[in-house]
Structure 1
Amino acid sequence: MARTLPARLADKMGQGRRFDVEVVSEPFTAECEDPSTLMERITERAGAEGWDIVVALTDLPLHTQGRKLVVSLDHEHGLALLSLPALGGFRLQIKARRAVEETVIALVGPRPTGNEEHPQRQPSKAAFAGCLTPIRQGPVDENEGTDLRYVVSGPRGYVRVLAGMVRANRPWRLVPGLSKALAAALATGAVATVNSTVWSLAAALSVPRLVIATVGSIALMIGWLIVDAQLWHRSTENSPEAKLRAKLYNVSTVVTVGIGVLVCYVGLLAVNLVWALFILNDRVFASMTRAPLDAAGYLTLSWFVASTATVGGALGSGLESDEAIRAAAYSKREQERRNMLQSED
């Protein structure tokens, strides 16, 4: 975004404007700092660096007065704070670029001077939310360093922020981190596929029972990963915003880990099916189970073995290091940020 932003802003603003963009990364901790405190930090940093406009982006879900914050703007000082999870979990790059462009254009626009009644330019609401999740202006206290705030609320806003948090957790990075658990699951599946008792069980199970076995094994894997890596977040505050933040953290962690485990389950199912096609003999199978080994038989056996192997993978996940699944939880990243701030202090 930093590479393309100057040219795009110059084209939109015209009038011979030129923009230089500087990127700075610093840790924010929602557990210790509210949006007002973050705005104060941005103000101090902007004054020290001599910046004209500052747009702060964070992957933390921010709350203000019981509402989920999308963006806060301070036209007087040229400052903005944008919470990326509020943009949702899809097409994040495009949405973030559009939001930053609209914010910068609004901040560099004309400001009222003296007794002039020239209104400040406001960024379009469409820059921050789609038609399915309408946003609205949020209340601003007089003592806050903010003159415009957009928030989302309600179930649709909650789902949008949650999707953005799961996107920030990068669930696709969880699968390679579970290499030892996958190895344990593959070993369990390979042994179970050639076990005659497993053949008989698979042939006798109905589809509802197979579904229950799938849900149970995936739930066991998710629960074990969260407990073993201590990913469950418990807030040390009793405020409503802290409780809501803890709830969002935990739900996003469960969804993120669930996506990773589900991908592993589908992979196990495919590997077990290929292994069964290669190793099993239909006559031996029929003699043991009194059921033909047709396409449905292969699929049912592979399905049941995948559930069994997932339970074995849950045991193997205990061998994983915390770093392997740290990215699946906001609470872990929050702890890292707090440690960074403490070391800097």
Structure 2
Amino acid sequence: MAGSVTGISVDGERRPVVVGLLADPDLPARFAGRLDDRLPGELRRRVDERTDWSVEWVEDAFEVLYPDHERLMAKARQRVRDTHWDVAICLTDLPLFGDSGPVAVKISEADRVALISLPSLGGLRLGRRLRDVVVTLVQNLVRGPGRAHRDRLASRLAARAGLDPAPAARGSREFRISRFPTARLLGGMVRANRPWRLVIGLSTALAGAFAGSAFGVLYSSIWRLATSLSAVRTAGVVAAAVLALATWLIVGHNLWERADPVSAAAGERERRLRNAGTAITVSAAAIAFFVALFLIIVAAVAVVVPPDYVTQSLGHAATVVDYIRIALMATVLGTVAGAVGSGLEDDTTVRRATYSHREQERRRRASRDDR
């Protein structure tokens, strides 16, 4: 067990320690709510079992202050000064960047505040990794500054989250992704976008997809075409349908962020990263849409079309492979119809799942706040 907490006391007496979580809306707020339940037990088990740990969290759209890290940290410092919080941990779904690349964690030990960028923690096991990072940061912050604590923090963040120290301004420390930073950041951005929300929101596209798939289920000429195609051609047709849906979503809803000729090199790098995250998010949603539609169509073909009729239409005994190919072709037709229908979806529903839209919202809010 780790040693006792000594960084926070009153007249030498130990007192309860309040850990405050300041979370952006949406995904960060959801994780903050989960930490509210689990974090006290983790802190007792892994930091100091004799301390009375409590956790409070607040949803606050401090993303309007992006990209100024110091303004974010200043807001957390104000929370520590003006409330009974002993430590403040900020959670954001924004990718943060410093001079040396993507920043995962920024910490000010003297002020007992820290900032965590969720995308930098990757797309897999995000909840567990975030809990490990928060516990490690709290353990360091409540014990105050010191070379030994600093070295221990660096080694634990490296072991538990794959983070290494990065050069930072005086008075604060930054930690960056140690290996494959771009791939890990993209994975985290897609996870923060939550592609399944986009799939659920495509109600108009789904209606069009069912209408298009009906032709493939009911018309025997499409059955013959489906069973006559080679596996390579079938795979190509499926890929083309998914690509059509993804492209239609991106173009039809203006999800692609165009280059700004006056932006700096760092801003251009971030724009490309956001566009890559959008492309992967929408592509994953399109694949999930196709798979879900295919499973429904397989069941429909099995129920609606009798084997004898398929045998008569194809000129040979119907097999399971024939049914799968028929369902695939019907799903392709439905996906293309769904792509057309996706243009009628509400822009907000589609754009909410992309960083480009949230970036535009942040800029509009920041512009209003600065007036």
- Paired residue for 1:207? 231
Identify if the C-alpha distance between structure 1 residues 22 and 341 changes in structure 2 by more than 3 Å, giving closer, same or farther.
Answer: farther
Quick check: 2:154–2:164 contact (8 Å CA) kept in 1? no
What CA distance in whole angstroms lies between the structure 2 residues aligned with 1:272 and 1:15? 56
Of residues 110, 116, 123, the one that matches 2:153 is 123
Alpha-carbon contact 1:75-1:111 (below 8 Å) kept: yes
2:209 maps to what in 1? 185
Deviations 1:43-100 (A, max 9, x none): 3444344643221111111110141111111111112111111111122122111111
Q: How many residues align?
A: 335
Q: Match for 1:34 among 55, 64, 68?
A: 68
Partners in 1 of 2:64 and 2:188 — Cα distance?
16
Separation in structure 2 between the aligned mates of residue 120 and residue 3 of structure 1, nearest angstrom: 28
Aligned match of 1:232: 256
Distance 1:198 1:269 in 2: 16
Partner of 1:266: 291
Alignment partner, residue 81 of structure 1: 115
- Residue 5 of structure 1 deviates from its aligned partner by 2.5
8 A contact 1:79–1:107 mirrored in 2: yes
Work out the CA distance in 2 between the residues paired with 1:284 and 1:254.
Answer: 42
- Which residue of 2 is the match for residue 198 of structure 1? 222
Deviations along 1:223-247, one digit per CA (max 9) or x if unpaired, are 1011112211235462233222222
Partner residue in 2 for 1:256: 281
Q: Which moved more, 1:196-205 or 1:66-75?
A: 196-205
SS of structure 1 residue aligned to 2:332: helix
- Unaligned runs of 5+ residues in structure 2 are 1-34
Q: Which residue of 1 aligns with 2:101?
A: 67
Alignment correspondent of 2:320: 295
Match of 1:111 among 142, 145, 152: 145
Aligned to 2:351: 326
1:47 aligned to which of 66, 73, 81: 81
Q: Report the Cα offset of residue 41 of structure 1.
A: 3.6
Distance in 1 between residues matched to 2:186 and 2:65, nearest whole Å? 18
TM-score of the aligned structures, taking structure 2 as reference length:
0.81
Q: 1:3 to 1:240 in 2, by over 3 A?
A: same
**TM-score using structure 1 length:** 0.86
Offset from partner CA, 1:290-321 (integer Å, 9 cap, x none): 34422221111111221121101101111110
User: Whose strand fraction is larger, Structure 1's or Structure 2's?
Assistant: 2
Q: How many angstroms apart in 1 are the aligned matches of 2:164 and 2:91?
A: 20
Shift of 1:107: 0.9
Structure with greater contact order relative to length (CA < 8 Å, sep ≥ 6): 1
Give yes or no for contact 2:157–2:164 (8 Å, CA) kept in 1: no
Q: Where does structure 1 lack aligned partners over 5 or more consecutive residues?
A: none
Residue 3 of structure 1: SS of its match in structure 2?
Answer: helix
Q: Distance in 2 between matches of 1:344 and 1:22?
A: 27
Taking a change above 3 Å as real, the CA distance of residues 44 and 33 of structure 1, as seen in their structure-2 partners, is farther
Segment drifting more, 326-335 vs 312-321: 326-335
Aligned to 1:309: 334
Compute the RMSD of aligned alpha carbons. Answer: 2.7
